[in-house]
Structure formats: C-alpha cells, structure tokens
C-alpha cells in the first residue's frame, strides 16, 4: 500500500536527466554544488517543486479529501482545534530514515466544512524545483536561488542535534538544515513563516532560539 501511495507522487520512478549549463558563466565554479554548474532540462510534474504553490501532485489550497484519495490515509499525524499534520512514509520500512511527506491542513473558512492544504514538507531528494534545487543542498546553494532567505529559528531534535530553520517567506519555501545540509524542504503560503507549525509537527523538538 505504501508503494502505491508514493507512486502517485513519483517516488518510485527515475528523475529527469540533467545537462551541462553554460560553462562560460563566470559566476559558476566547480568548487560548489552541481546546482551552480548544471540545470534540469525538464522536471516531471510528479517531482516538481513550485515555491508557494505545490510539491508533486499536491497543491496548497487543495481539499484534504482529494489528498487522501491520492495518498490513502496517513501513516502518522496529529490533530487538534481544526488543524492537523498528516505524515506518509515511503521506502523501506526497516530503514533508519524513511522518506516522508507531511501535510499541514486547517479549515478553509469559518464554515468549518472543508480542510485544505496549508503547507507541504518533503525529505526526499527526488523532488526538485525547475532549476534543480532539492534536499541535500547547502545554504550557499539555496541562496543562489532564493537570495532573501533568512534564518528563523533553531531546535534541538530528539538526538540533541541542532536543526536550523530557514525561510524565503516572500516566495513561500523553507528549509531545515542539519550539519550544513538541508534535510527537508517545505512549500507554504507566501508571506507566511514556515516555522509557524513546527512545534506541532515536532513536539519532541526543543526551541533554542
């Protein structure tokens, strides 16, 4: 059942091929990530990240009933006061770290009839922006694409490792960093800080600044 759910998001198929970018660009060097030296020729829509809009086939503002039709019931989550996180896991269930997609939802309006998607968080590097940005990137990589990105807060996770949360608030995309690399990527509504929901998603994390 897990494989069926993640196939809908494109986690079970290959990535689009990459091709070399213009070597004459004086701002691109071999000493940094491939994000500076290559570009994605085309990203399959099932893998595409669009800041402030969508990840794969899930879009901000989408009715959560439609999300459940696509993914099935979530494997884990939390809900209270009309707000909820749903988490779907992919890959080997015995692996130390499984890929996941987490979706934050709340009521669309005061009628309290429909819950829609407010934030989408992924950990798999199979999802990419059109210009190749994905998890595993450094802060320097990300600043090339989102120069206005800013640090919002830091947390101690369950292993007492420091997780730093950065956000390009105006564009609607945020990142978690651990040991210099991004470990997750979140698409959220523009001009809404990505860390507004973190203590709900990670109740075991301790806010340190």
CA 54 to chain centre: 10
Q: Which two tokens stand for residue 52?
A: 């402030």
Is the overall model pTM greater than 0.85, yes or no? no
Residues 105-122 have pLDDT tens digits of 999 999 999 999 999 999
- Look at residues 114, 118, 81 and name the one whose alpha carbon lies nearest to residue 103: 118
pLDDT at residue number 209:
86
Residues 135-175 have pLDDT tens digits of 999 999 999 999 999 999 999 999 999 999 999 999 999 99
Q: Which two tokens stand for residue 91?
A: 């890959």
Q: Number of folded domains in the chain? A: 1
The Cα–Cα gap between 207 and 67 comes to 30
Q: 164 CB contacts (<8 Å, ≥6 apart)?
A: 151, 153, 154, 176, 177, 178
Residues 94-105 have pLDDT tens digits of 556 789 999 999
Residue-range definition of the domain harbouring residue 15: 2-207
Q: Which residue has the tokens 């689009």?
A: 16
Q: Which two tokens stand for residue 6?
A: 């993640």
pLDDT at residue number 80:
85
**pLDDT above 50: residue 14:** no
Q: 147 CB contacts (<8 Å, ≥6 apart)?
A: none
**pLDDT above 80: residue 133:** yes
Could you tell me if 165 and 154 are in contact, meaning their C-beta atoms sit under 8 angstroms apart?
yes
**pLDDT above 60: residue 32:** no
**pLDDT above 50: residue 19:** no
Residues 170-208 have pLDDT tens digits of 999 999 999 999 999 999 999 999 988 887 888 899 999
Average pLDDT of every residue of the chain: 83
pLDDT at residue number 53:
98
């Amino acid at each position: 059942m897990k494989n069926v759910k993640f196939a809908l998001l494109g986690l079970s198929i290959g990535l689009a091929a990459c091709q070399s970018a213009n070597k004459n660009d004086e701002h691109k060097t071999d000493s940094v990530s491939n994000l500076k030296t290559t570009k994605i020729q085309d990203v399959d829509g099932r893998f595409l990240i669009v800041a402030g809009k969508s990840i794969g086939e899930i879009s901000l503002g989408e009715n959560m009933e439609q999300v459940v039709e696509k993914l099935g019931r979530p494997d884990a989550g939390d809900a209270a006061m009309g707000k909820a996180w749903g988490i779907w896991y992919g890959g080997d269930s015995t692996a130390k770290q499984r890929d996941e997609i987490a979706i934050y939802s709340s009521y669309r309006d005061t009628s309290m009839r429909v819950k829609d998607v407010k934030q989408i968080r992924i950990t798999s590097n199979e999802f990419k922006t059109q210009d190749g940005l994905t998890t595993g990137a450094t802060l320097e990589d990300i600043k090339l694409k989102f120069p206005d990105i800013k640090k919002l807060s830091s947390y101690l996770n369950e292993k007492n490792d420091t997780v730093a949360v950065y956000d390009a608030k105006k564009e609607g995309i945020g990142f978690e960093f651990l040991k210099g690399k991004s470990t997750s990527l979140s698409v959220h509504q523009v001009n809404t800080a990505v860390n507004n929901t973190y203590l709900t998603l990670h109740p075991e994390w301790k806010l340190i600044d």
